[in-house]
């Protein structure tokens, strides 16, 4: 590929959002006729990079060259006009319209002002045939098809515009095996016709199967660009997960209290083959009092789904859950909370914060919810609790009446933690409690978790940073492809050991 | 793919609150079935019900509602709502009556009324689009404004004596045998036909559906979303003023309190006609059927001497409820599996 | 000072004061309140008394809107409440007794609670959008009221009943006292218990509220029942004031006035933080506006034009976000908001 010029060349791209440096001097090249995988964990900057390329975000620094010309697209439509089309995970088509319309919407051939429907059909059939998708009836309504077919239709639309660059953002996350193969055959057809394809996926098998080259990002920075054939799985995983250098310094001081065997303690919770159709399967583990169970696995492996099942946010339809020796079916978060389970979501903004309420109101929300609306937590108790937890967790600013949306991410996270601590739960499930917050708050939270467990509280700890999971947990449950695949005591095991499990036996 | 590679179990598919496949015709077909059943029931119960003229009278008595429902269909297809239509009808009638009283030429009056209605709608659309205020509250302000302007023109009823308007009120267009329709029916049906053409044969019409199917998708597909959203309110305003003229033909007067609550009838007709209030699904022909269903309810109640007129409102409310629940049922079922 | 300017009640209160002063300019005795026969009289008292039904309904509407909902049916519910109570009193063997009036009022209140429960059921259990769910009752409600009154305007002559809307107690119109009591009780009920905060939580972030263990369904249901109750009492007031139930015109457009009062009072239609005081001020602004139009000699019916202008202005002021969006639309609003305080 050395001879050809890249169709897309991004140099030194930086984008900062308030408080976050989403991209920091990232270079990225895309050549015609290649499938290029973009890899990284959550928050690595993959989607920001794509949005920078397609004109959704303005870049703060750097240059974007498309087909030899420096560009900066103002809107996705402009990018599309220059031959860059994107197919998103959540299909961005109109489900209420027919397949043929979705392919040609906005560019329908017309005759005397009216849409020339026969010509619409001919063109749609033409492009579907080119992609070997002739079996799709162009007149059928889009929503009558599976997500896989809808994605293929989206690709057909992109091809109808004669895209030079096709960006596929997590296209396979909701497809089954046959559908993935169908998608891949279309991808190969397009590659052979010289289309440059940018492929984002968290399924490493698929990346290895279809891509020619890969670019790895971590924390908004470029880790490197590699030929797929030359980078083994283990190497890739360690580049994706990596070691956070800043955290390393703190590592010494937060020395581990790991205690892999806690079976002498009382059993709190036992999951046996717990699962939910379309969510996660075969979750089997136990949690004892004072134990920290880490959930490890790549993005999309079913970490969050497991937590939601244990909290009753989603109802399990397989397996059994036993809490304190009694079999329970958790029908709602309320029923889980009543059994002493608390859950802090990875999605702080959507699933945690009540943004327009004060720190105080946010702190006592779960406690108040438990008491019902009539028995208000007395003001004096509110103040006392708020003061105590603001001090204990070092929440800044220390004003109880500050709106929580005005706090930084780390302090918001501490408030959400305190919300649950006030209810004195038996099991605290923490989904990515340290993501996107600064290093100071991060170590504070890690220490807090350890001390809570030392006081007898059970914790399920979820993090994309394997190193963090290893440092904190007593035992580690490993998830892969939405199944639990291993339960390992954290007994002198290394990151490599866990990565080997994640990478699978054929690594 | 190697044997060892396990493909991931499919994720929870995004919840699709969409009708799938042929199901999209189902609500409209249900309405048509309901209409036929009601007509048949009427034929069995009342002598003289089964006549062409009873059917044509449904059209004659509801010309303005048909046109209103057409405009409302455009708005609801994009997922919006227009509460101002009843007031704009009244305003159109007042303007027409006042200008005719002042001796204006009827053609100029009609042109001015239509222009006013369309502009009124466009302005509301602009406010909705530019300032991102909910259609509900903006058109509510429109409701107040138009109704208030009626009173500014005149608090009392103004009678229309213009020869053209009176001739339109009395004219009968004979069909086969003794059957006849009014000129208003012809106008209303032309409006329906034009709307059908626009919605199904133009890029603008398809964009209306696309916005209802998913506004952000439509934007990402590079469609003229903002322009279309403004225009649908303009169309609704235009339809309201046409309906106002038709109502004037029918009532030969302008009165500030006329057409109160007509927006509810229009919304009910559209919903009963099978258009989803969340947008994206529905047909003007469905809305036409919806108007006929509301009309036949009224006919029933007038045939059944013992039932009082307020039953109309109750039955319309009940129909609205049934169709909303049906919509809920349809959309819940079609979460893709 | 700048804190005062930013307070969300500053502008509504200022608008109210300006309106009152404008009236004073045109009618020198506008602000004076005099005592006659032991009763208070004056324009201010009139504004309060005529605004009482709107205030009541707006109280219920505030909580509904705070929970991310809307209740379009309140006008129809008010009409039904007036109809059932008047019909009961009218057809009772002792149409003038206190007991009859009390029973009539009780029936109306129960009807209001039941209709509110119906709305709440459609919204919280069936899951229909509030605007559509309440549209059903808005459409059918006046028909139901006419059904009750058999299409007639039912006049009653019962002194106890008439007192609700037209009577005086301790020199003040009873309707004002009822509205004041409702305001006080609502304030206590929502701010002394946790109800207010929980309603706001559900309105701001329903998902996070559920994950914190809140029973959002019950809370949603409660606010619609409360709104039905407020509408019923307002309906009693309206019918008592004219000693008749008019199924067609009682409470016509009052849902619009109530929504307007809530919005003027600074509660966002998107739900969340609400202000009962703001709603009170908003309702008074609307009522004063009506009076002002009258004072200025404009035909009273033209009030609607002014109301429309107020809606538009308030909405434009509230959508200042729209303007900031225009200036920096390249950064979609989904991005993390700027933390004002460093960690």
Task: With a cut of 70, say whether residue C20 has pLDDT above it.
Answer: yes
Q: Is residue B4 part of a domain?
A: no
CA C37, CA B294: separation in Å to the nearest integer? 55
CA B310, CA A218: separation in Å to the nearest integer? 68
How many residue contacts between A and B have a Cβ separation below 8 Å? 127
Task: With a cut of 70, say whether residue A506 has pLDDT above it.
Answer: no
With vertex at residue B204, the alpha carbon angle to CA B202 and CA B208, rounded to the nearest 5 degrees, is: 120
- B267 interaction partners in chain C (CB closer than 8 Å): 135
Percent pLDDT > 90 in chain C is: 41
**CA–CA distance from C150 to each of A221, A232, A261, C75, C126 (Å)?**
76, 84, 79, 19, 32
Residues within 8 A of C (CB atoms), B 140-179 only: 140-145, 147-149, 151-152, 155
pLDDT for A121: 93
Q: Is residue B44 part of a domain?
A: no
Contacts within 8 Å (CB) and 24+ apart, B171-179 = B175/B52, B175/B56, B177/B52, B178/B53, B179/B52, B179/B53, B179/B56
CATH number of the structural domain spanning residue B285: 1.10.3470
Domain edge (last residue) among A184, A219, A244: A244
pLDDT for B14: 35
In sequence order, what are the residues at sequence separation of 6 or more whose Cβ sits closer than 8 angstroms to the Cβ of residue C106?
none
Task: With a cut of 60, say whether residue B5 has pLDDT above it.
Answer: no
Measured between CB atoms, which of B11, B197, B214 is closest to A174? B11
**Smallest CA–CA separation between C155 and chain A, in Å?**
41
Phi, psi of B327 (to 5 degrees): -60, -45
Task: Summarize pLDDT for A251-301 with one digit per residue, the tens.
Answer: 444 455 566 666 777 889 999 999 998 788 889 999 999 999 999 887 778
Task: With a cut of 50, say whether residue B336 has pLDDT above it.
Answer: no
In sequence order, what are the residues at sequence separation of 6 or more whose Cβ sits closer than 8 angstroms to the Cβ of residue B25?
none
What's the order of all strands across the beta sheet hosting A213-218?
A84-87, A165-169, A196-200, A35-39, A213-218, A221-227
CB contact under 8 A, C343 and A334: no
Q: Per-residue pLDDT averaged across A205-224, rounded?
A: 89
Q: Is residue B11 part of a domain?
A: no
Task: With a cut of 80, say whether residue B85 has pLDDT above it.
Answer: yes
Q: Is C68 on the interface with B (CB under 8 A)?
A: no
Task: With a cut of 80, say whether residue C276 has pLDDT above it.
Answer: yes
Q: Which of A330, A319, A331, A314 is nearest to A279 (CA)?
A: A314
pLDDT for B331: 67
Q: Is B226 on the interface with A (CB under 8 A)?
A: no
**Pair (A312, A453) in one structural domain:** yes
Q: With cut-offs at 50, 70 and 90, classify the pLDDT of residue C319.
A: low
Q: Is residue C77 part of a domain?
A: yes
Helices (H), C159-274: 159-166, 174-191, 195-204, 206-211, 216-241, 254-264
Q: Is A401 on the interface with C (CB under 8 A)?
A: no
- C335 interaction partners in chain A (CB closer than 8 Å): 17-18
Q: Is C333 on the interface with B (CB under 8 A)?
A: no
**Pair (A183, A79) in one structural domain:** yes
Percent pLDDT > 70 in chain C is: 90
Q: Is residue A1 part of a domain?
A: no
Task: Summarize pLDDT for C59-95 with one digit per residue, the tens.
Answer: 999 999 999 999 999 999 999 999 999 999 988 888 8
Enclosing H/E stretch for A295 = strand A292-296
Q: Is C139 on the interface with B (CB under 8 A)?
A: yes
Q: Is residue C333 part of a domain?
A: no
Task: Summarize pLDDT for A171-198 with one digit per residue, the tens.
Answer: 776 676 777 888 898 899 889 988 999 9
pLDDT for B155: 82
pLDDT for A251: 47
- For residue C307, the Cα-to-chain-centroid distance in whole angstroms is 15
Measured between CB atoms, which of A97, A106, A205 is closest to B213? A97
**CA–CA distance from B308 to each of B300, B312, B316, C139 (Å)?**
11, 8, 14, 16
Task: Please give the full DSSP string across C167-188, using - where no structure is assigned.
Answer: -EETTEEHHHHHHHHHHHHHHH
Task: With a cut of 60, say whether residue C341 has pLDDT above it.
Answer: no
Residues within 8 A of C (CB atoms), B 300-319 only: 308-318
Query: Beta A20-30 vs A8-17: how paired, if at all?
Result: antiparallel
* Residue C136 CB burial class (10 angstroms; 0-12, 13-18, ≥19): buried
**CA–CA distance from B199 to each of A122, A142, B9, B213, B235 (Å)?**
21, 19, 40, 14, 12
Q: Per-residue pLDDT averaged across C241-250, rounded?
A: 84
CB contact under 8 A, C341 and A402: yes
Task: With a cut of 50, say whether residue B335 has pLDDT above it.
Answer: no
**Average pLDDT of the residues of chain B:** 85
Phi, psi of C319 (to 5 degrees): -90, 30
Q: With cut-offs at 50, 70 and 90, classify the pLDDT of residue A469.
A: confident
CA C82, CA B277: separation in Å to the nearest integer? 32
In which residue are the tokens 């909405």 written? C315
CB contact under 8 A, C339 and A19: yes
Q: Is residue A346 part of a domain?
A: no
Q: With cut-offs at 50, 70 and 90, classify the pLDDT of residue A340.
A: very high
**Pair (A279, A148) in one structural domain:** no
Q: With cut-offs at 50, 70 and 90, classify the pLDDT of residue A347.
A: confident
Q: Are C236 and C164 in contact (CB under 8 A)?
A: yes
- For residue C31, the Cα-to-chain-centroid distance in whole angstroms is 25
Q: Is residue A103 part of a domain?
A: yes
Q: With cut-offs at 50, 70 and 90, classify the pLDDT of residue C308.
A: confident
Report the range of poorest mean pLDDT among A352-366, A414-428, B182-196, B315-329: B315-329
Q: Is residue B176 part of a domain?
A: yes
Chain A residue with the nearest C-alpha to that of B200: A115
**Smallest CA–CA separation between A73 and chain C, in Å?**
11
Q: Are B231 and B210 in contact (CB under 8 A)?
A: no
Measured between CB atoms, which of C201, C210, C339 is closest to A408? C339
Domain edge (last residue) among A213, A244, A275: A244
Measured between CB atoms, which of B10, B16, B222 is closest to A176? B10
pLDDT for B65: 95
Q: Identify from C213, C217, C219 which residue to disrupt to test chain A contact, counting A C-beta atoms within 10 A and taking the largest count.
A: C213
CB contact under 8 A, B264 and C139: yes
- For residue C325, the Cα-to-chain-centroid distance in whole angstroms is 32
Number of domains in chain B: 1
**Pair (A197, A157) in one structural domain:** yes
Q: Is B27 on the interface with A (CB under 8 A)?
A: no
Q: Are A312 and A477 in contact (CB under 8 A)?
A: no
Q: Per-residue pLDDT averaged across C310-336, rounded?
A: 55
How many residue contacts between A and C have a Cβ separation below 8 Å? 124
Give me C33's structure tokens. 């309140």
pLDDT for C221: 94
**Pair (A39, A158) in one structural domain:** yes
Q: With cut-offs at 50, 70 and 90, classify the pLDDT of residue B86.
A: very high
Q: Is residue B12 part of a domain?
A: no
Q: Is B336 on the interface with A (CB under 8 A)?
A: yes
Q: Are B269 and B290 in contact (CB under 8 A)?
A: yes
Most confident of A196-200, C252-256, C288-292: A196-200
Show the domain range for B323: 26-39+50-330
CB contact under 8 A, C211 and A311: yes
pLDDT for B22: 56
**Smallest CA–CA separation between A411 and chain B, in Å?**
32
In sequence order, what are the residues at sequence separation of 6 or more whose Cβ sits closer than 8 angstroms to the Cβ of residue B267?
B72, B76, B81, C135
Rg for chain A, CA atoms, rounded: 25
Three-class DSSP category at A56: coil
Q: Is residue B8 part of a domain?
A: no
Q: Is residue B10 part of a domain?
A: no
CA B104, CA B96: separation in Å to the nearest integer? 9
CB contact under 8 A, A76 and B21: no
**Pair (A393, A442) in one structural domain:** no
Three-class DSSP category at C35: strand
Enclosing H/E stretch for B111 = helix B106-131
CB contact under 8 A, A106 and B9: no
Q: With cut-offs at 50, 70 and 90, classify the pLDDT of residue B24.
A: low
Q: Are A7 and A164 in contact (CB under 8 A)?
A: yes
Q: Is residue B136 part of a domain?
A: yes
Q: Are B304 and B43 in contact (CB under 8 A)?
A: no
Show the domain range for A268: 246-340+425-503
**CA–CA distance from C6 to each of B44, C9, C341 (Å)?**
69, 8, 20
What's the order of all strands across the beta sheet hosting A427-431?
A326-327, A318-323, A267-276, A280-288, A483-489, A475-480, A292-296, A458-462, A427-431, A341-344
Q: Per-residue pLDDT averaged across A61-88, rounded?
A: 85
Q: Is C126 on the interface with B (CB under 8 A)?
A: yes
Q: Is A300 on the interface with B (CB under 8 A)?
A: yes
**Pair (A283, A412) in one structural domain:** no
Measured between CB atoms, which of C132, C137, C308 is closest to B144? C308
Q: With cut-offs at 50, 70 and 90, classify the pLDDT of residue A134.
A: confident
**Pair (A120, A185) in one structural domain:** yes
Q: Is B19 on the interface with A (CB under 8 A)?
A: yes
pLDDT for B337: 29
In which residue are the tokens 């626009």 written? B198
**Pair (A100, A174) in one structural domain:** yes
Q: Is residue A370 part of a domain?
A: yes
**Average pLDDT of the residues of chain A:** 85
Q: Is A333 on the interface with C (CB under 8 A)?
A: yes
Q: Per-residue pLDDT averaged across C31-56, rounded?
A: 86
Q: With cut-offs at 50, 70 and 90, classify the pLDDT of residue C293.
A: confident
* Residue A135 CB burial class (10 angstroms; 0-12, 13-18, ≥19): exposed
In which residue are the tokens 């209420």 written? A96
- C306 interaction partners in chain B (CB closer than 8 Å): 148
Task: Please give the full DSSP string across A225-284, using - where no structure is assigned.
Answer: EEEGGGS-HHHHHHHHH---HHHHHHHHHS-----S--TTSPEEEEEEEEEETTTEEEEE
Helices A117-130 and A147-160 pack at an angle, to 10 degrees, of: 110
Give me A104's structure tokens. 């040609």
Q: Which of C219, C207, C261, C246 is nearest to C52 (CA)?
A: C261
Enclosing H/E stretch for A25 = strand A20-30
**Average pLDDT of the residues of chain C:** 84
Task: Summarize pLDDT for B211-221 with one digit per residue, the tens.
Answer: 999 888 888 88
Q: Is residue C250 part of a domain?
A: yes
- B204 interaction partners in chain A (CB closer than 8 Å): none
Most confident of A266-270, B22-26, C318-322: A266-270
Q: Is residue C223 part of a domain?
A: yes
- C299 interaction partners in chain B (CB closer than 8 Å): 151-152, 155
Q: Is residue A220 part of a domain?
A: yes
Q: Is A20 on the interface with C (CB under 8 A)?
A: yes
Q: Per-residue pLDDT averaged across B314-325, rounded?
A: 88
Task: With a cut of 50, say whether residue C121 has pLDDT above it.
Answer: yes
**Smallest CA–CA separation between C339 and chain A, in Å?**
5
Omega before B256 within 30 of 0, i.e. cis: no
Measured between CB atoms, which of B4, B20, B24 is closest to A506? B4
Q: Identify from C128, C282, C301, C310 which residue to disrupt to test chain B contact, counting B C-beta atoms within 10 A and taking the largest count.
A: C301
Task: With a cut of 70, say whether residue C340 has pLDDT above it.
Answer: no
Chain B residue with the nearest C-alpha to that of A275: B9
Three-class DSSP category at A326: strand
Q: Are A71 and A64 in contact (CB under 8 A)?
A: yes
Task: Please give the full DSSP string across C100-167, using - where no structure is assigned.
Answer: HHHHHHHHHHHHHHHHHHHHHIIIIII---HHHHHHHHHHHHHHHHHHHHTTS-EE---HHHHHHHH-
CA B29, CA B41: separation in Å to the nearest integer? 18
> Which chains neighbour A (Cβ–Cβ under 8 Å, 3 or more pairs)?
B, C
In sequence order, what are the residues at sequence separation of 6 or more whose Cβ sits closer than 8 angstroms to the Cβ of residue C294?
C300
Q: Is residue C341 part of a domain?
A: no
Q: Are A274 and A321 in contact (CB under 8 A)?
A: yes
Report the range of poorest mean pLDDT among A35-44, A130-139, A473-482, B10-19: B10-19
Number of domains in chain A: 3
Task: With a cut of 90, say whether residue B210 has pLDDT above it.
Answer: yes
pLDDT for A418: 93
Number of domains in chain C: 1
Q: What is the dihedral of CA A494, A500, A502, B1, to 10 degrees?
A: 170
Measured between CB atoms, which of C143, C256, C325 is closest to B317? C143
Task: With a cut of 50, say whether residue C343 has pLDDT above it.
Answer: no
- B79 interaction partners in chain C (CB closer than 8 Å): none
CB contact under 8 A, A350 and C341: no
Show the domain range for C238: 7-325
């Amino acid at each position: 590929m050395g001879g050809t010029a890249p169709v897309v060349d991004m140099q030194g791209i930086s984008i900062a959002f308030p408080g976050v440096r989403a991209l920091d001097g990232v270079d990225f090249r895309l050549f015609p006729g290649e499938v290029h995988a973009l890899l990284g964990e959550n928050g690595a900057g993959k989607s920001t990079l794509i949005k920078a390329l397609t004109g959704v975000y303005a870049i703060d620094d750097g240059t974007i060259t498309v087909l030899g010309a420096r560009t900066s697209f103002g809107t996705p439509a402009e990018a599309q006009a220059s031959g860059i089309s994107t197919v998103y995970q959540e299909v961005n088509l109109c489900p209420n319209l027919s397949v043929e319309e979705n392919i040609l919407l906005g560019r329908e051939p017309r005759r005397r002002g009216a849409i020339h429907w026969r010509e619409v059909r001919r063109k749609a059939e033409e492009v579907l045939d080119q992609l070997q998708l002739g079996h799709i009836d162009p007149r059928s309504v889009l929503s009558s098809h599976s997500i896989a077919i809808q994605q293929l239709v989206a690709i057909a639309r992109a091809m109808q515009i004669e895209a030079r660059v096709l960006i596929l953002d997590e296209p396979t996350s909701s497809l089954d095996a046959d559908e993935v193969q169908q998608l891949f055959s279309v991808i190969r057809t397009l590659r052979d016709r010289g289309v440059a394809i940018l492929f984002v996926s968290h399924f490493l098998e698929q990346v290895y199967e279809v891509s020619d080259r890969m670019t790895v990002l971590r924390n908004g920075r470029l880790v490197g660009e590699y030929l797929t054939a030359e980078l083994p799985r283990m190497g890739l995983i360690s580049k994706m997960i990596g070691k956070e250098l800043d955290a390393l310094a703190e590592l010494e001081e937060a020395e581990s209290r790991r205690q892999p065997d806690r079976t002498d303690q009382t059993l709190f919770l036992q999951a046996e083959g717990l699962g939910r159709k379309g969510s996660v399967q075969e979750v089997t583990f136990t949690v004892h009092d004072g134990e920290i169970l880490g959930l490890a696995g790549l993005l999309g492996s079913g970490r969050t789904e497991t937590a939601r099942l244990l909290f009753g946010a989603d109802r399990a339809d397989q397996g059994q859950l036993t809490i304190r020796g009694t079999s329970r079916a958790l029908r709602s978060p309320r029923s889980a909370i009543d059994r002493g389970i608390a859950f802090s979501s990875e999605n702080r903004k959507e699933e945690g914060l009540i943004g327009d309420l004060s720190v105080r109101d946010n702190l006592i929300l779960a406690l108040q919810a438990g008491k019902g609306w009539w028995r208000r937590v007395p003001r004096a108790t509110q103040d006392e609790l708020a003061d105590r937890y603001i001090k204990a967790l070092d929440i800044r600013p220390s004003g109880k009446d500050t709106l929580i949306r005005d706090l930084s991410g780390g302090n918001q996270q501490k408030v959400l933690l305190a919300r649950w601590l006030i209810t004195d739960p038996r099991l605290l499930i923490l989904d990515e409690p340290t993501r996107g917050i600064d290093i100071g708050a991060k170590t504070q939270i890690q220490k807090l978790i350890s001390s809570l467990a030392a006081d007898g509280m059970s914790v399920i700890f979820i993090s994309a940073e394997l190193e963090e999971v290893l440092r904190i947990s007593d035992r580690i449950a490993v998830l892969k492809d939405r199944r639990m695949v291993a339960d390992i005591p954290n007994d002198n095991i290394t990151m490599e050991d866990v990565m080997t499990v994640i990478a699978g036996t054929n690594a | 793919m190697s044997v060892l590679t396990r493909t991931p179990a499919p994720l929870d598919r995004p919840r699709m609150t969409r009708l799938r496949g042929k199901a999209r015709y189902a609500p409209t077909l249900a309405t048509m079935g309901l209409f036929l059943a009601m007509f048949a029931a009427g034929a069995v119960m009342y002598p003289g019900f089964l006549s062409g003229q009873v059917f044509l009278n449904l059209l004659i008595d509801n010309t303005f509602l048909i046109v209103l429902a057409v405009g409302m269909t455009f708005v609801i297809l994009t997922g919006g709502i227009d509460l101002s239509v009843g007031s704009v009808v009244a305003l159109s009638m007042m303007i027409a009556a006042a200008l005719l009283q002042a001796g204006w030429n009827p053609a100029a009056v009609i042109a001015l009324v239509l222009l006013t209605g369309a502009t009124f709608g466009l302005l509301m659309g602009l406010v909705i689009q530019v300032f991102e205020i909910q259609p509900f509250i903006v058109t509510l302000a429109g409701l107040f404004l138009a109704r208030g302007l009626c009173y500014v023109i005149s608090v009392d009823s103004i009678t229309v004596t213009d020869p053209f308007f009176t001739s339109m009120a009395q004219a009968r267009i004979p069909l086969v045998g003794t059957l006849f329709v009014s000129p208003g029916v012809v106008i209303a049906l032309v409006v329906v036909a034009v709307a059908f053409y626009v919605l199904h044969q133009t890029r603008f019409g398809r964009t209306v559906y696309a916005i209802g199917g998913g506004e952000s998708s439509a934007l990402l597909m590079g469609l003229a979303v903002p322009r279309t959203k403004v225009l649908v309110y303009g169309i609704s305003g235009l339809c309201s003023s046409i309906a106002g003229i038709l109502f004037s033909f029918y009532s030969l007067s302008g009165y500030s309190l006329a057409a109160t609550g007509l927006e509810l009838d229009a919304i009910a007709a559209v919903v009963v006609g099978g258009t989803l209030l969340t947008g994206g699904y529905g047909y003007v022909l469905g809305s036409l059927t919806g108007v006929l269903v509301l009309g036949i309810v009224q006919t029933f109640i007038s045939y059944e001497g013992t039932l009082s007129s307020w039953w109309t409102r109750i039955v319309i409310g009940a129909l609205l409820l049934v169709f909303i629940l049906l919509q809920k049922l349809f959309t819940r079922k079609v979460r893709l599996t | 000072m700048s804190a005062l300017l930013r307070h969300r009640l500053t502008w509504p209160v200022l608008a109210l004061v300006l309106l009152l002063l404008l009236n004073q300019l045109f009618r020198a005795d506008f602000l004076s309140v005099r005592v006659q026969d032991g009763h208070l009289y004056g324009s201010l008292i009139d504004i309060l008394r005529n605004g009482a039904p709107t205030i009541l309904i707006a109280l219920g509407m505030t909580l509904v809107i705070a929970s991310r909902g809307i209740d379009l049916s309140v006008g129809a519910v008010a009409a039904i409440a007036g109809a059932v109570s008047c019909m009961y009193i009218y057809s009772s063997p002792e149409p003038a007794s206190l007991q009859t009036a009390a029973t009539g009022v009780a029936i109306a209140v129960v009807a209001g609670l039941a209709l509110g429960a119906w709305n709440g059921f459609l919204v919280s259990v069936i899951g229909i959008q509030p605007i559509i769910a309440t549209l059903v009752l808005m459409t059918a409600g006046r028909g139901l009221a006419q059904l009750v009154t058999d299409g007639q305007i039912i006049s009653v002559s019962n002194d106890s009943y008439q007192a609700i809307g037209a009577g005086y107690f301790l020199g003040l119109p009873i309707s004002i006292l009822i509205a004041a009591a409702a305001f006080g009780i609502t304030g206590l009920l929502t701010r002394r218990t946790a109800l207010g905060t929980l309603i706001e939580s559900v309105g701001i972030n329903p998902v996070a509220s559920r994950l914190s263990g809140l029973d959002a369904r019950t809370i949603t249901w409660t606010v619609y029942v409360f709104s039905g109750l407020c509408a019923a009492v307002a309906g009693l007031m309206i019918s008592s004031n004219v000693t008749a139930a008019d199924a067609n015109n009682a409470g016509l457009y009052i849902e619009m006035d109530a929504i307007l009062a809530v919005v003027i009072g600074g509660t966002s239609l998107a739900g969340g933080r609400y202000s009962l005081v703001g709603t009170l001020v908003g309702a008074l602004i609307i009522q004063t506006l009506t009076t002002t139009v009258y004072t200025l000699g404009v035909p009273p019916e033209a009030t609607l034009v002014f109301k429309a202008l107020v809606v538009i202005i308030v909405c434009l002021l509230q959508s200042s976000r729209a303007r900031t969006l225009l200036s920096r639309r390249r950064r979609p609003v989904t991005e993390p908001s700027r933390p004002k305080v460093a960690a």
